[in-house]
Amino acid sequence: MELYEYGMNELIAMLKKGEISSVMLTKSLIDHIEEKDKDIGAFLYIDREGALKAADKADKERKEGSDKPLLGIPVAIKDNICTKGTKTTCASRMLENFIPPYDATVVERLKEAGAVIVGKTNMDEFAMGSSTENSAFKKTVNPWDYGKVPGGSSGGSAASVAAYEVPAALGSDTGGSIRQPASFCGAVGLKPTYGRISRYGLVAFASSLDQIGTFGRNAQDIALIMNAISGHDDHDFTSAPGKEVYDPDDIKGGVRGLKIGLPKEYFGEGVNSEVKDSIYAAVKQLEERGAEVEEMSLPYSEYALAAYYIISSAEASSNLARYDGIRYGHRAEKYEDLIDLYACSRSEGFGKEVKRRIMLGTFVLSSGYYDAYYKKALEVRTLIKNDFDKAFEKYDVLMSPTAPTTAFGFGEKSDPLEMYLADILTVPINIAGLPSISVPCGLAGGLPVGLQIIGRPFEEKTLLKGTYMIQEITGKLRPEVR
């Protein structure tokens, strides 16, 4: 096996035993990225020099007796998470030359844990999309089929892990942007509870929905990253107090007695039959191992997608108002007056999908429409959260498909409404602020199917236990080496 094929747990063990050095590991991965990514397009920027310098520092620290948990382990970062001295573009012309003067809290914590940042990954512009087709700079393909999308908006991070370019990567999830690409690419992707991880340094899309999370190849690797980046942060007043410790060995417990609910609304019209069959087959295996499985209902789920696009677009309209061509970001060269400067800078800097959501958000917040749309969407949000609260009085976790289909082809969903439906099974979880993970559970038509596990607030450990068991049952999927 090549070094890039090993998981984080294995690499950490090899580094501790002195079988490899971090410089050797990082060089192997970057060489692989530079070769493989010509086809995949997962990275917007590869920091070869900075990564090798950090790897050399990690090797010296290890010789001095350092026991940092991720010492010398390469990790990739989605390009809407600030990295000091390195471009953070959000895959947008608006921020094409933006270099943050500080690290996001999660990046700072990764570095404190000894991780090596190898580069920034491609995404839908400002995290608005479900296919990574909205990037202003390049195309990212699905490692399983180069004619298929990797999902979005964290498509670059998902593809980088699935293509064995890095063992783990950070992403962000506002309505499914970690779980859906994880499903499409056959990776494990966790969206933690809202507030579990600091959002300081995450370029805002919809602040009440955004959450940083992580991609990995297995439950243990996700646990290791979560240990490094989770916990309260004084820079983010929405971050929750305290910190959970995730023991990679503790998540290996079985599922006997675990009460699993299957929301019937998540298996209905529009969900591919092969996808459903894969989910049912995996759940059946859990039932045979002692889990208790029952169909149940989340009746307000049908309103989640509409509520989500009203709330998220309204918050996007507010958050993106700061890009005015004056303080930072793209500035138009030709304009007649101040108002024209605003209009020209934003028209040139933002892509089509971002403009669409800004216009929708501005509309639902406008006088005469606020009560009819935005206020009503917030009321629906409460009903959806109440649905989940009631469900978790009886069930430990809920399970469903992550996405209604496997990865679709480029240009296949040209209608925005059709594209929005790709998130129909993930947005309710963001609306309720719950933790949720996507784990590969099989193939349909030769492409990965993701099983979504939804948990109570701050019970990520239960999700990781379920993920471990699913992977023990179904095996770990990987695309054919090309």
Residue 111 shares a structural domain with residue 161: yes
At 443, is the secondary structure helix, strand, or coil?
A: strand
Residue 68 shares a structural domain with residue 157: yes
Residue 116 lies in a domain: yes
Q: 0.95 cut: is pTM over it?
A: yes
Residue 279 lies in a domain: no
Residue 281 lies in a domain: no
Choose one of 332, 348, 377: the last residue of a domain: 377
Relative to beta strand 397-401, strand 259-263 is parallel
Report the alpha-carbon distance of residue 267 to residue 100 in Å, rounded.
Answer: 43
Give pLDDT, residue 244.
Answer: 87
Give pLDDT, residue 482.
Answer: 43
- Active site members: 78, 153, 177
Average pLDDT over residues 376-397: 98
Report the alpha-carbon distance of residue 91 to residue 113 in Å, rounded.
Answer: 27
Residue 11 lies in a domain: yes
Give pLDDT, residue 474.
Answer: 85
Residue 229 shares a structural domain with residue 339: no
Residue 81 shares a structural domain with residue 145: yes
**Domain span including residue 327:** 304-377
Residue 389 lies in a domain: no
Find how far residue 165's CA is from the centre of its chain: 17
Residue 322 lies in a domain: yes
Residue 184 shares a structural domain with residue 328: no
Choose one of 323, 346, 377: the last residue of a domain: 377
Residue 12 lies in a domain: yes
Residue 187 shares a structural domain with residue 231: yes
At 457, is the secondary structure helix, strand, or coil?
A: coil
Residue 314 shares a structural domain with residue 445: no
Structure tokens at 158: 């998902």
Q: How confident is the model at residue 247 (pLDDT cuts 50, 70, 90)?
A: confident
Report the alpha-carbon distance of residue 39 to residue 42 in Å, rounded.
Answer: 9
Residue 245 shares a structural domain with residue 103: yes
The pLDDT of residue 313 is above 60? yes
Residue 442 lies in a domain: yes
Which has more pLDDT, 247 or 383? Answer: 383
Number of domains in the chain: 2
Residue 328 shares a structural domain with residue 180: no
Residue 239 shares a structural domain with residue 347: no
Find how far residue 295's CA is from the centre of its chain: 28
**Average pLDDT score over the chain:** 96
The pLDDT of residue 481 is above 60? no
CB 211 within 8 A of CB 192: yes
Lowest mean pLDDT among 90-94, 104-108, 323-327: 323-327
Quote the radius of gyration of the chain (alpha carbons, Å).
21
CB 180 within 8 A of CB 408: no
Q: How confident is the model at residue 475 (pLDDT cuts 50, 70, 90)?
A: confident
Q: What is the CATH number of the domain that holds 244?
A: 3.90.1300.10
Cis, peptide link before residue 66, omega less than 30° from 0 = no
The pLDDT of residue 113 is above 80? yes
Residue 113 shares a structural domain with residue 253: yes
Choose one of 377, 412, 431: the last residue of a domain: 377
Q: How confident is the model at residue 480 (pLDDT cuts 50, 70, 90)?
A: low
Give pLDDT, residue 418.
Answer: 94
Residue 251 shares a structural domain with residue 311: no
Average pLDDT over residues 85-100: 97
Note the pLDDT tens digit of each residue in 197-243: 999 999 999 999 999 999 999 999 999 999 999 999 999 999 999 88
Give pLDDT, residue 462.
Answer: 95
